[in-house]
Structure 1
């Protein structure tokens, strides 16, 4: 068993695609119209045939209270691995990304949390 697809709920797919590709550096994999929305996925440029992240519309009524509760408690919806949290923190801050938690050393890992501008908190992590 392996992970092939996971998702984050987004308020606006076009805005999310711009953030996840232009700022974070993912690449668009699929953009298939489905009604008023799209089956819109991105992948890591380091693994273009690897796991996909679905930028899923946040229209379901359960999404808003779920995400609001996570954000209020400072809990990230997703976690992305990076080689160097401090370097990625500086790169993303220079691009205007707002962090809710700066790089934090947790002994075996370093983490930081940012706002993805689409309704979610995202954590970046580097193992030591």
Structure 2
């Protein structure tokens, strides 16, 4: 058994698709109409056959509340692995990304946290 799809609630699917593809560098895999929304997934450009991230609309009041509470508490909604946190931090800063936590060494790992502009904090980690 393996994880093939995971979801992330977003406030605006178009804005999220633009951020996750143009700013972060993910590749759009699916963009299919689904009622008043779309089934949009992105994958890592380093693993086109890997786990898909669904950019899920937060229309449901429970999803909306969950997303807002995580953000208010400073809790990242998900974590992405990177080869070099400092390099990724610098690259994203140059693209105007706001970080709530600069690269921080914690034992054998280094992490940083940024705002995805779509209602989420995202943690990046170098192991």
TM-score (norm 1): 0.97
SS of residue paired to 2:39: strand
Q: How far did 1:54 drift?
A: 0.1
1:23 equivalent to 2:9? Answer no
Misfit runs of 4+, over 6 Å:
none
1:119 equivalent to 2:119? Answer yes
1:48 equivalent to 2:48? Answer yes
Gaps of 5+ in 1: none
Match of 2:86 in 1: 86
Task: Give the number of equivalent residue pairs.
Answer: 127
Match of 2:99 in 1: 99
Alpha-carbon RMSD: 0.6
Match of 2:74 in 1: 74
What do the CA deviations read for 1:65-99 (whole angstroms, capped 9, x no partner)? 21121112111001000000001000001100000
Gaps of 5+ in 2: none
What do the CA deviations read for 1:16-69 (whole angstroms, capped 9, x no partner)? 000000000000000010111110000001110110000000101102221121
**Superposed counterparts of 1:57-72, under 5 Å:** 57-72=57-72
